[in-house]
Amino acid sequence: MQTRRMHEPASRRKQPTVLLIDDDLVSREVAATVLTLSGYSVHTAESGEASLAMLDAGAVAPGVILVDAQMPGLSGSALIAELRRRTLATVIAISGSPPRQTDEVFAAADGFLLKPFDGPALQELLDKRQPRPSQRPSGDPVISPQTLAQLRSLMPEPAVREIYTAVVADLAQRLEALEAAIAAGDHDEIARIGHTIKGGCAMAGAIEAARLGAELEALPLDPGSNHLDNSARLLAELRDAARNLKRMLETALPA
C-alpha cells in the first residue's frame, strides 16, 4: 500500500480534501501534484483495497474521492459501493477514455473527469454538482432549530449527537439502497425508500433530507413523467443533504 499526503499552499483558498485512487504511479503522482498546486490537500492510494484500509483506519476524511475507472482487484462500481459505505464524499470516476452509457462505474459515480485534468476542471465539476448551502431549495435549514432545542432540553449533548450520528449512518444506507433501486428501475422500491427517509428524518428534524424523501415518495409513475431521471436528480440532492447533515454534526455537535 502506498499513500501520500500533499499539503496545500497557504495562499490558496480552502478546498475539500481529496483521496486519489489510481494504480498507475505516474498518473497518480502527476494528478496529485497538479491538484496540490491548485490548493487541494491530497491523499493517494494505489488500489481499491488500500483506499478502504485508509478510510477504515481513519487516516483520511475526504470530501472528494477520485477513483480510476479500471484497476486490478477491487474496482469499478463494487469499489464505489464500498466507498459509499464508509464515507459521504463525492465520488468522481477518472479515466483516459470517454465514458460509455453502459459503463456501470460511471453510473455509480457522482461525476466524471477525463485524464489529464487539473484543479480548475475538478472545481468546475464540483461547482456544477453541489449547490452552495445558501442555494438549497426553499432555503430549508439542515436541522430544525426547534427539534434540536427540544432534544437538548430532554437529554445531554452526547445523547443528542448519538441520535444524529445514527441518522447520518441510516441515511447513508438508504442512499445505497436507493441507488440500487434506481438502477433496477424499481419504482415501488424508490417510493418506499423515499417514505422511510421522509419519516425518519422528519422525526429527527432533518428538514432538508425529509423534504427530498417526500419528493421521492410522491414522484408520478406515468410513462411520460421521467420518473427515473427525477429519481436520479433527487438521489444527488439527497447525497448533498447527507453531507450537509454530517457537516452540521461536526460543527454544532462536535465529539
Residues 234 and 246 in one domain: yes
How much is the pLDDT for 16? 85
Q: Are residues 118 and 150 in the same domain?
A: no
* All residues at 6 or more sequence positions from 252 whose CB lies less than 8 Å from its CB, including other chains: 143, 148
Q: What is the pLDDT of residues 173-188, one digit of tens each?
A: 998 888 888 888 888 8
Last residue of some domain: 92, 109, 130?
Answer: 130
Do residues 139 and 217 share a domain?
yes
Whether residues 32 and 95 share a domain: the answer is yes
Residues 23 and 115 in one domain: yes
| pLDDT tens profile 32-49 | 999 999 999 999 999 999
Number of domains in the chain: 2
pLDDT value for 140: 56
Q: Which position has the grid cell 448519538? A: 162
21 with 126, same domain: the answer is yes
- Single residue among 71, 100, 130 that ends a domain in this structure: 130
Regarding whether 121 and 10 lie in a shared domain, the answer is yes
Taking the CB of residue 172, how many other CB atoms lie within 10 A of it?
17
Point out the residues of the chain with pLDDT beneath 70. Answer: 1-14, 100-103, 129-140, 221-229, 255
**Residue 205 CB contacts under 8 Å (≥ 6 apart), including other chains:** 143, 144, 146, 147, 148, 151
Query: Do 169 and 76 share a structural domain?
Result: no
120 and 48 both lie in a single domain: yes
Q: Which of 115, 130, 145 is the last residue of a domain?
A: 130
Tell me, what's the pLDDT at 218? Answer: 84
**Strand 5-6 and strand 42-45: pairing?**
antiparallel
In the prediction, which pLDDT does 131 show? 42
Check residue 129 and give its pLDDT: 65
Query: Based on the domain organization, do 180 and 234 belong to the same domain?
Result: yes
- How many angstroms separate the CA atoms of 213 and 207, rounded? 10
- Residue 87 belongs to domain spanning: 5-130
The 10 Å Cβ neighbour count of residue 153 is 8
Q: What is the CATH number of the domain that holds 115?
A: 3.40.50.2300
| Residue where the block lists cell 468546475 | 124
Phi, psi (rounded to 5 degrees) for 36:
-60, -40
Say whether pTM exceeds 0.95. Answer: no
What CATH number does residue 245 fall under?
1.20.120.160
Cβ atoms of 54 and 43 within 8 Å: the answer is yes
Q: Report d(CA 137, CA 193) in Å as an integer.
A: 21
Residues 159 and 231 reside in one and the same domain: yes
Provide the β-strand partners of residue 95: 114
Same domain? For 82 and 164 the reply is no
